Amino acid sequence: MTAQPHDFVSRETPLPEKNLRAIRAALVVPQDREAFDAGLKAVLDEVRVNLDLGALNAFVHRWWISACDSVRDPQGRRQMHERAEHVLAGEPRSEGKPWREILAARGIDV
């Protein structure tokens, strides 16, 4: 089983459309938008060189999942980036449940 958008987005929350403009608009955390913009530039360069849209399709899909998460839990996205900044700064991190355990409890096979 793989993670599907309906696994983590409530039915009451409208999902962003699966296109670049809608995905970027749904990204509420500045770090997400910055990473999206940088990644889009890189993937478009790759498409120009290889003339293969597969990389762009994969990029859209990966970022659409992040956009769905951003719509569902914007505060969670902010906290995730905060924790990442602390870890990158070498600060001690609090131990929580491993992400594999959390996903398994949700019935998502990784």
Query: What confidence tens digit (pLDDT) does each residue in 42-88 have?
Result: 999 999 999 999 999 999 999 999 999 999 999 999 998 888 888 88
pLDDT at 1: 40
According to the model, what pLDDT value does residue 107 have? 76
User: Of the spans 16-25, 68-77, 92-101, which averages the highest pLDDT?
Assistant: 16-25
pLDDT at site 11: 57
pTM (two decimals): 0.71
Per-residue pLDDT averaged across 35-47, rounded?
A: 98
The residues, any chain, with a CB within 8 Å of residue 63's CB and separated by 6 or more, are 23, 27, 36, 39
The answer to whether 47 and 55 have CB atoms below 8 angstroms apart is yes
Element (DSSP H or E) covering residue 59: helix 54-72
- What are the residue boundaries of the structural domains of the chain, listed by start? 5-105
